[in-house]
């Protein structure tokens, strides 16, 4: 999951239809709040052509109903908590809150449904793509912004409860799903990745309306962290923060890389490149003499169901789950493995095998902290 990393500079073919422009011009307004003069021509491009565009040439902004409502909801929640400070927001290539800048970058693909569709096609999920998911990430990033704006990580009690902000970010982390020392907010147990992420996650749980955090975390050591957030926010609520920078790091109008280059880098970062580790289990599940149907075909037929279930079970992002399944499909082809006729039994056994390898992926030093 590419949420924030506050210790680096960022905290983290075809052709359009011939008559598309004329068709668009006949519409007075679309359901996305666009007028004929603002509808971008690239909404009619297929993925291949769209991937050739530079991000800076998309001409997108935060002025869309979806993002306007989400940001408005965030500010309303801050007002309800009697917090005066409002982090500024801008569009960039991912979610992050920069070190030293109390603001929030929102990924460009949330600025238009066509870009969200491209993100899903490229990464198999849209991080923050639903209203609730978007708000969860906004609350998390707001925690980073408050931490930065008021230098909260310099306080002794912060260090005692969350750890040192200056701790180097690990390339990967191995969370303990059973731990009660951390709140549960963003997957996969993101509070465990770094002290600053622990603070941001705890803040997000505290900020959420009607979260009932006192009762939910009543017997957890994490409750002390929530109580500290409640205490410190009461103290600074109406104060003007000492850090007031309104800078924007990597705003979309300055990102000159193409969408294709962006997604190539992103997929490589989340890549999974040890396919032969599956061979023993695959050969047990799909022996060559088991039937006429191919094991690769079986996995492909049930791939969507498997990825959905496993993402829910493991907390792993759907792209990584699909990477595991994709590699297994390739190995089944190379090993010429066959699937038996008892499909329901095979599905159950395949889910067990996939869950083991996905959890190994998560806990075996492969899970990235941020992009």
Q: What is the DSSP string of 288-299?
A: TTS-SEEHHHHH
DSSP character at residue 106 = E
Where does 135-273 show beta strands of DSSP type E? none
Q: Which residues are 368's β-sheet partners?
A: 172
Predicted pLDDT of residue 68: 94
What whole-number distance in Å separates Cα of residue 317 and Cα of residue 321?
Answer: 7
What whole-number distance in Å separates Cα of residue 168 and Cα of residue 83?
Answer: 30
Q: Which residue has the tokens 């969370």?
A: 175
pLDDT tens digit at each of 371 positions of the chain = 334 443 444 544 232 333 333 333 333 344 445 554 568 899 999 999 999 999 999 999 998 999 999 999 999 999 999 999 999 999 999 999 999 999 999 999 999 999 999 998 887 778 999 999 999 999 999 999 999 999 999 999 999 999 999 999 887 777 787 899 999 999 778 899 999 999 999 999 999 999 999 999 999 999 999 999 999 999 999 999 999 999 999 999 999 999 999 999 887 776 544 455 678 888 888 886 667 788 888 998 988 888 888 887 777 667 677 778 877 887 888 788 888 878 888 998 988 888 887 777 655 544 445 43
Q: Which residue has the tokens 């990584």?
A: 320
DSSP character at residue 27 = -
Predicted pLDDT of residue 12: 45
CA–CA distances in Å: residue 110 to residues 10, 91, 92, 134, 319: 19, 9, 10, 9, 18
Predicted pLDDT of residue 364: 53
Q: Which residues are 90's β-sheet partners?
A: 105
Predicted pLDDT of residue 34: 53
Two tokens, residue 25: 């011009």
Predicted pLDDT of residue 279: 82
The model's pTM: 0.73
What whole-number distance in Å separates Cα of residue 76 and Cα of residue 106?
Answer: 18
Predicted pLDDT of residue 27: 36
Two tokens, residue 269: 């970062």
Predicted pLDDT of residue 258: 98
First to last CA, the chain: 8
Predicted pLDDT of residue 192: 93
Predicted pLDDT of residue 38: 67
- Give the CB-side neighbour count of residue 310, counting CA atoms within 13 A: 31
């Amino acid at each position: 999951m590419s949420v924030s990393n506050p210790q680096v500079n960022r905290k983290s073919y075809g052709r359009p239809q011939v008559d598309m422009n004329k068709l668009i011009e006949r519409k007075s307004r679309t359901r996305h709040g666009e007028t004929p003069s603002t509808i971008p021509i690239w909404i009619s491009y297929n993925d291949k052509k769209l991937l050739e565009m530079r991000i800076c040439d998309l001409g997108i902004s935060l002025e869309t109903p979806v993002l306007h409502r989400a940001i408005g909801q965030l500010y309303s929640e801050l007002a309800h908590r009697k917090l005066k400070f409002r982090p500024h927001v801008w569009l960039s290539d991912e979610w992050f809150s920069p070190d030293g800048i109390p603001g929030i970058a929102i990924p460009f693909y949330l600025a238009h449904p066509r870009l969200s569709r491209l993100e899903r096609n490229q990464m198999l999920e849209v991080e923050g793509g639903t209203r609730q998911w978007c708000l969860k990430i906004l609350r998390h990033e707001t925690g980073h912004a408050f931490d930065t704006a008021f230098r909260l990580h310099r306080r002794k009690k912060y260090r005692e409860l969350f750890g040192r902000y200056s701790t180097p970010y690990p390339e990967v982390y191995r969370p303990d799903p059973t731990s009660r020392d951390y709140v549960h907010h963003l997957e996969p147990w993101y509070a465990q990745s770094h002290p600053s992420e622990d603070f941001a996650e705890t803040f997000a749980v505290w900020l959420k309306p009607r979260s009932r955090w006192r009762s939910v975390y009543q017997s957890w050591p994490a409750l002390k962290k929530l109580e500290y957030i409640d205490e410190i926010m009461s103290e600074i609520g109406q104060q003007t923060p000492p850090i007031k920078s309104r800078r924007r790091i990597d705003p979309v109008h300055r990102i000159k890389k193409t969408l294709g280059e962006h997604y190539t880098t992103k997929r490589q970062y989340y890549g999974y490149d040890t396919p032969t580790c599956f061979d023993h289990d695959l050969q047990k599940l799909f022996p060559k003499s088991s039937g006429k149907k191919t094991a690769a075909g079986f996995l492909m037929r049930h791939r969507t169901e498997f990825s959905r279930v496993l993402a829910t079970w493991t907390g792993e992002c759907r792209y990584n789950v699909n990477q595991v399944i994709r590699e297994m499909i390739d190995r089944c082809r190379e090993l010429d493995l066959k699937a038996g006729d008892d499909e329901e039994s095979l599905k159950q056994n395949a889910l067990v095998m996939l869950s083991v390898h996905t959890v190994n992926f998560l806990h075996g030093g492969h899970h990235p902290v941020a992009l």
